[in-house]
Structure 1
Protein backbone atom coordinates (compact mmCIF):
# COMPACT_ATOMS: atom_id res chain seq x y z
CA UNK A 1 0.00 0.00 0.00
CA UNK A 2 1.21 3.50 -0.77
CA UNK A 3 2.17 6.04 1.86
CA UNK A 4 -1.10 7.31 3.42
CA UNK A 5 0.23 10.87 3.37
CA UNK A 6 0.48 11.09 -0.41
CA UNK A 7 -2.13 13.06 -2.27
CA UNK A 8 -3.12 10.08 -4.42
CA UNK A 9 -3.59 7.85 -1.39
CA UNK A 10 -5.62 10.50 0.42
CA UNK A 11 -7.84 11.07 -2.62
CA UNK A 12 -8.32 7.30 -3.03
CA UNK A 13 -9.33 6.96 0.60
CA UNK A 14 -11.66 9.94 0.35
CA UNK A 15 -13.30 8.68 -2.83
CA UNK A 16 -14.17 5.36 -1.17
CA UNK A 17 -17.16 7.09 0.43
CA UNK A 18 -17.91 9.32 -2.56
CA UNK A 19 -18.72 6.99 -5.47
CA UNK A 20 -22.42 7.65 -5.92
CA UNK A 21 -22.90 10.24 -8.71
CA UNK A 22 -25.60 12.07 -6.73
CA UNK A 23 -23.36 12.28 -3.68
CA UNK A 24 -20.50 13.54 -5.86
CA UNK A 25 -22.72 16.22 -7.38
CA UNK A 26 -23.88 17.30 -3.92
CA UNK A 27 -20.24 17.54 -2.85
CA UNK A 28 -19.32 19.61 -5.91
CA UNK A 29 -21.85 22.20 -4.76
CA UNK A 30 -21.64 21.90 -0.98
CA UNK A 31 -17.88 21.61 -0.39
CA UNK A 32 -17.13 25.01 -1.99
CA UNK A 33 -20.08 26.55 -0.13
CA UNK A 34 -18.73 25.19 3.16
CA UNK A 35 -15.30 26.58 2.31
CA UNK A 36 -16.78 29.98 1.50
CA UNK A 37 -18.87 30.01 4.67
CA UNK A 38 -15.91 29.04 6.87
CA UNK A 39 -13.80 31.75 5.29
CA UNK A 40 -16.74 34.09 5.81
CA UNK A 41 -16.85 33.32 9.53
CA UNK A 42 -13.14 34.12 9.75
CA UNK A 43 -13.58 37.21 7.56
CA UNK A 44 -16.32 38.41 9.89
CA UNK A 45 -13.85 38.20 12.79
CA UNK A 46 -11.28 40.10 10.74
CA UNK A 47 -10.14 39.79 7.12
CA UNK A 48 -6.58 39.09 8.27
CA UNK A 49 -7.82 36.05 10.20
CA UNK A 50 -9.31 34.65 6.99
CA UNK A 51 -6.12 35.39 5.07
CA UNK A 52 -4.01 33.69 7.76
CA UNK A 53 -6.23 30.59 7.62
CA UNK A 54 -5.88 30.50 3.83
CA UNK A 55 -2.09 30.74 4.18
CA UNK A 56 -2.03 27.86 6.67
CA UNK A 57 -4.18 25.66 4.44
CA UNK A 58 -2.09 26.52 1.40
CA UNK A 59 1.06 25.47 3.28
CA UNK A 60 -0.55 22.06 3.90
CA UNK A 61 -1.67 21.79 0.28
CA UNK A 62 1.84 22.79 -0.89
CA UNK A 63 3.26 19.79 0.98
CA UNK A 64 0.71 17.49 -0.66
CA UNK A 65 0.74 18.86 -4.21
CA UNK A 66 2.05 22.07 -5.70
CA UNK A 67 -0.46 22.02 -8.59
CA UNK A 68 -3.33 21.57 -6.13
CA UNK A 69 -2.00 24.37 -3.94
CA UNK A 70 -2.06 26.65 -7.00
CA UNK A 71 -5.67 25.70 -7.72
CA UNK A 72 -6.64 26.21 -4.11
CA UNK A 73 -4.94 29.61 -4.14
CA UNK A 74 -7.13 30.64 -7.08
CA UNK A 75 -10.25 29.32 -5.34
CA UNK A 76 -9.33 31.08 -2.10
CA UNK A 77 -8.68 34.39 -3.89
CA UNK A 78 -12.05 34.18 -5.61
CA UNK A 79 -13.76 33.43 -2.30
CA UNK A 80 -11.93 36.21 -0.48
CA UNK A 81 -12.90 38.54 -3.32
CA UNK A 82 -16.56 37.57 -2.92
CA UNK A 83 -16.37 38.22 0.81
CA UNK A 84 -14.67 41.58 0.26
CA UNK A 85 -17.44 42.59 -2.17
CA UNK A 86 -20.28 41.72 0.22
CA UNK A 87 -21.74 44.37 2.50
CA UNK A 88 -20.12 43.65 5.89
CA UNK A 89 -23.43 43.24 7.71
CA UNK A 90 -24.50 40.43 5.36
CA UNK A 91 -21.39 38.26 5.73
CA UNK A 92 -22.25 36.51 9.00
CA UNK A 93 -25.95 35.75 8.35
CA UNK A 94 -25.23 34.63 4.79
CA UNK A 95 -22.38 32.37 5.91
CA UNK A 96 -24.45 30.82 8.69
CA UNK A 97 -27.21 29.98 6.21
CA UNK A 98 -24.73 28.59 3.65
CA UNK A 99 -22.92 26.55 6.27
CA UNK A 100 -26.07 24.93 7.66
CA UNK A 101 -27.64 24.23 4.27
CA UNK A 102 -24.41 22.89 2.77
CA UNK A 103 -23.84 20.51 5.69
CA UNK A 104 -27.42 19.29 5.43
CA UNK A 105 -26.70 18.63 1.75
CA UNK A 106 -23.49 16.78 2.60
CA UNK A 107 -25.26 14.47 5.06
CA UNK A 108 -28.08 13.84 2.58
CA UNK A 109 -25.42 12.88 0.04
CA UNK A 110 -23.89 10.43 2.49
CA UNK A 111 -27.29 8.95 3.27
CA UNK A 112 -27.71 8.36 -0.47
CA UNK A 113 -24.18 6.94 -0.64
CA UNK A 114 -24.81 4.71 2.36
CA UNK A 115 -21.44 5.56 3.89
CA UNK A 116 -20.37 7.92 6.64
CA UNK A 117 -18.33 11.02 5.81
CA UNK A 118 -14.58 10.40 5.61
CA UNK A 119 -13.72 12.98 8.25
CA UNK A 120 -15.39 10.80 10.89
CA UNK A 121 -12.33 8.56 10.56
CA UNK A 122 -9.67 11.21 9.94
CA UNK A 123 -10.08 14.98 10.35
CA UNK A 124 -7.57 15.58 7.54
CA UNK A 125 -10.35 14.75 5.15
CA UNK A 126 -11.99 18.09 5.94
CA UNK A 127 -9.06 19.58 3.99
CA UNK A 128 -9.03 16.82 1.36
CA UNK A 129 -12.68 17.36 0.37
CA UNK A 130 -11.90 20.55 -1.56
CA UNK A 131 -9.06 18.74 -3.36
CA UNK A 132 -11.44 15.92 -4.26
CA UNK A 133 -13.70 18.47 -5.95
CA UNK A 134 -10.73 20.20 -7.59
CA UNK A 135 -9.37 16.85 -8.83
CA UNK A 136 -12.37 16.45 -11.14
CA UNK A 137 -11.60 19.81 -12.72
CA UNK A 138 -7.92 18.93 -13.06
CA UNK A 139 -8.71 15.61 -14.71
CA UNK A 140 -11.23 17.28 -17.03
CA UNK A 141 -8.49 19.63 -18.31
CA UNK A 142 -5.71 17.01 -18.19
CA UNK A 143 -3.83 18.86 -15.46
CA UNK A 144 -1.43 16.86 -13.33
CA UNK A 145 -1.70 17.03 -9.59
Structure 2
Protein backbone atom coordinates (compact mmCIF):
# COMPACT_ATOMS: atom_id res chain seq x y z
CA UNK A 1 0.00 0.00 0.00
CA UNK A 2 1.20 3.50 -0.83
CA UNK A 3 2.47 5.85 1.86
CA UNK A 4 0.97 9.22 2.77
CA UNK A 5 3.72 10.97 0.78
CA UNK A 6 3.09 8.81 -2.29
CA UNK A 7 -0.67 9.45 -2.18
CA UNK A 8 -0.31 13.21 -1.66
CA UNK A 9 2.42 13.52 -4.31
CA UNK A 10 0.38 11.62 -6.86
CA UNK A 11 -2.71 13.71 -6.12
CA UNK A 12 -0.73 16.97 -6.14
CA UNK A 13 0.57 16.19 -9.63
CA UNK A 14 -3.02 16.56 -10.88
CA UNK A 15 -3.56 19.75 -8.89
CA UNK A 16 -0.93 22.40 -9.64
CA UNK A 17 -3.15 25.26 -10.83
CA UNK A 18 -4.27 27.37 -7.84
CA UNK A 19 -7.72 27.86 -9.41
CA UNK A 20 -8.16 24.09 -9.53
CA UNK A 21 -7.14 23.75 -5.90
CA UNK A 22 -9.57 26.52 -4.90
CA UNK A 23 -12.45 24.78 -6.71
CA UNK A 24 -11.57 21.61 -4.82
CA UNK A 25 -11.95 23.42 -1.50
CA UNK A 26 -15.58 24.03 -2.54
CA UNK A 27 -16.42 20.95 -4.62
CA UNK A 28 -14.92 18.20 -2.44
CA UNK A 29 -16.77 19.20 0.75
CA UNK A 30 -20.00 19.39 -1.27
CA UNK A 31 -19.41 15.88 -2.63
CA UNK A 32 -18.47 14.48 0.79
CA UNK A 33 -21.62 16.00 2.30
CA UNK A 34 -23.68 14.64 -0.60
CA UNK A 35 -22.36 11.11 -0.16
CA UNK A 36 -22.81 11.32 3.61
CA UNK A 37 -26.36 12.56 3.16
CA UNK A 38 -27.33 9.94 0.60
CA UNK A 39 -25.80 7.12 2.68
CA UNK A 40 -27.45 8.35 5.89
CA UNK A 41 -30.49 6.26 5.01
CA UNK A 42 -31.48 3.67 5.97
CA UNK A 43 -30.76 4.03 9.66
CA UNK A 44 -30.73 0.53 11.16
CA UNK A 45 -31.50 0.43 14.89
CA UNK A 46 -28.99 -1.38 17.09
CA UNK A 47 -29.85 -3.43 20.18
CA UNK A 48 -32.59 -1.56 22.06
CA UNK A 49 -33.02 1.09 19.36
CA UNK A 50 -31.15 3.76 21.31
CA UNK A 51 -28.42 3.79 18.68
CA UNK A 52 -28.40 3.19 14.96
CA UNK A 53 -26.06 2.33 12.12
CA UNK A 54 -26.14 3.78 8.60
CA UNK A 55 -24.21 2.96 5.44
CA UNK A 56 -22.53 6.38 5.85
CA UNK A 57 -21.15 5.36 9.24
CA UNK A 58 -19.71 2.15 7.83
CA UNK A 59 -18.17 3.95 4.83
CA UNK A 60 -16.65 6.64 6.97
CA UNK A 61 -15.33 4.21 9.60
CA UNK A 62 -13.49 2.37 6.81
CA UNK A 63 -12.28 5.67 5.33
CA UNK A 64 -10.98 6.81 8.71
CA UNK A 65 -9.07 3.54 9.13
CA UNK A 66 -7.41 4.27 5.77
CA UNK A 67 -6.50 7.82 6.87
CA UNK A 68 -5.23 6.73 10.28
CA UNK A 69 -3.07 4.07 8.66
CA UNK A 70 -1.46 6.72 6.45
CA UNK A 71 -0.89 9.29 9.21
CA UNK A 72 -2.07 9.39 12.79
CA UNK A 73 -2.16 13.21 12.86
CA UNK A 74 -3.89 13.72 9.54
CA UNK A 75 -6.08 10.71 10.33
CA UNK A 76 -7.30 12.33 13.56
CA UNK A 77 -8.10 15.51 11.65
CA UNK A 78 -10.09 13.46 9.13
CA UNK A 79 -11.95 11.63 11.92
CA UNK A 80 -13.02 14.98 13.42
CA UNK A 81 -13.98 16.50 10.06
CA UNK A 82 -15.89 13.43 8.90
CA UNK A 83 -17.76 13.29 12.21
CA UNK A 84 -19.12 16.75 11.41
CA UNK A 85 -20.11 15.58 7.92
CA UNK A 86 -21.83 12.50 9.42
CA UNK A 87 -23.81 14.74 11.76
CA UNK A 88 -24.78 17.14 8.94
CA UNK A 89 -25.68 14.29 6.59
CA UNK A 90 -27.84 12.65 9.25
CA UNK A 91 -29.56 15.96 9.91
CA UNK A 92 -30.39 16.40 6.21
CA UNK A 93 -31.50 12.76 5.95
CA UNK A 94 -33.91 13.30 8.85
CA UNK A 95 -35.92 15.66 6.66
CA UNK A 96 -38.52 14.61 4.14
CA UNK A 97 -37.52 12.19 1.40
CA UNK A 98 -37.83 14.98 -1.17
CA UNK A 99 -35.51 17.30 0.76
CA UNK A 100 -33.07 14.43 1.50
CA UNK A 101 -32.81 13.40 -2.15
CA UNK A 102 -32.79 16.93 -3.56
CA UNK A 103 -30.04 18.02 -1.18
CA UNK A 104 -27.96 14.88 -1.66
CA UNK A 105 -28.23 14.74 -5.43
CA UNK A 106 -27.98 18.52 -5.82
CA UNK A 107 -24.82 18.75 -3.72
CA UNK A 108 -23.31 15.81 -5.60
CA UNK A 109 -23.99 17.22 -9.07
CA UNK A 110 -22.96 20.80 -8.27
CA UNK A 111 -19.87 19.59 -6.42
CA UNK A 112 -18.72 17.58 -9.43
CA UNK A 113 -19.43 20.46 -11.80
CA UNK A 114 -17.19 22.66 -9.66
CA UNK A 115 -14.51 19.93 -9.69
CA UNK A 116 -14.58 19.67 -13.46
CA UNK A 117 -14.38 23.46 -13.85
CA UNK A 118 -11.19 23.29 -11.78
CA UNK A 119 -9.79 20.56 -13.98
CA UNK A 120 -10.65 22.65 -17.03
CA UNK A 121 -8.30 25.32 -15.61
CA UNK A 122 -5.75 22.62 -14.80
CA UNK A 123 -5.92 21.18 -18.29
CA UNK A 124 -5.68 17.70 -16.84
CA UNK A 125 -8.16 14.98 -15.95
CA UNK A 126 -9.02 14.29 -12.28
CA UNK A 127 -6.65 12.00 -10.35
CA UNK A 128 -9.35 9.40 -9.67
CA UNK A 129 -9.55 8.61 -13.40
CA UNK A 130 -6.15 6.92 -13.11
CA UNK A 131 -6.52 5.70 -9.51
CA UNK A 132 -9.88 5.37 -7.75
CA UNK A 133 -8.16 5.82 -4.39
CA UNK A 134 -7.95 9.46 -5.45
CA UNK A 135 -11.57 9.74 -4.34
CA UNK A 136 -10.39 9.11 -0.77
CA UNK A 137 -7.21 11.14 -1.10
CA UNK A 138 -9.03 14.31 -2.24
CA UNK A 139 -10.40 15.23 1.20
CA UNK A 140 -7.07 14.33 2.81
CA UNK A 141 -5.27 16.54 0.29
CA UNK A 142 -7.42 19.50 1.40
CA UNK A 143 -6.54 18.85 5.05
CA UNK A 144 -2.85 18.59 4.12
CA UNK A 145 -2.96 21.79 2.04
CA UNK A 146 -4.62 23.59 4.95
CA UNK A 147 -1.96 22.32 7.35
CA UNK A 148 0.81 23.38 4.95
CA UNK A 149 -0.71 26.86 4.56
CA UNK A 150 -0.70 27.17 8.36
CA UNK A 151 2.99 26.26 8.48
CA UNK A 152 2.28 22.82 9.93
CA UNK A 153 3.59 19.43 8.78
CA UNK A 154 6.63 20.98 7.06
CA UNK A 155 8.42 17.63 6.79
CA UNK A 156 5.40 16.09 5.07
CA UNK A 157 5.17 19.06 2.72
CA UNK A 158 8.86 18.96 1.84
CA UNK A 159 8.78 15.18 1.29
CA UNK A 160 5.68 15.52 -0.90
CA UNK A 161 7.29 18.24 -3.02
CA UNK A 162 10.53 16.26 -3.34
CA UNK A 163 8.63 13.12 -4.33
CA UNK A 164 6.55 14.98 -6.93
CA UNK A 165 9.58 16.21 -8.86
The two structures share one fold, judged by TM-score above 0.5: yes
Paired position in structure 1 for 2:9: 12
Q: Which residue of 2 aligns with 1:43?
A: 40
C-alpha offsets along residues 5-62 of structure 1, whole Å, 9 cap, x if unaligned? 1111111111111111111000011111111101111003335211111101111111
**Partner Cα separation in structure 1 for residue 29 and residue 37 of structure 2:** 12
Q: TM-score, normalised by structure 1?
A: 0.90
Shift of 1:81: 1.7
Match of 1:116 in 2: 125
Cα-to-partner distance string for 1:73-124 (whole Å, 9 max, x where unaligned): 1111111221233342222210100100110111111111000111111111
The aligned counterpart of 2:29 is: 32
Structure 1, unaligned runs of 5 or more: none
Q: Any gaps of 5 or more consecutive residues in structure 2?
A: 44-52, 157-165
Please tell me whether Structure 1 or Structure 2 has the larger radius of gyration of its CA atoms: 2
Corresponding residue for residue 91 of structure 2: 85
Corresponding position of 2:64: 58
Distance 1:24 1:137 in 2: 11
Shift, 1:139, TM fit: 1.7
Are 2:79 and 1:70 aligned? no
Larger displacement relative to structure 2 (12-21 or 86-95): 86-95
- The structure carrying a bigger helix percent of its residues is 1
Matched, 1:127 2:136: yes
Instruction: State the aligned residue count.
Output: 142
- Counterpart of 2:159 in structure 1 is none
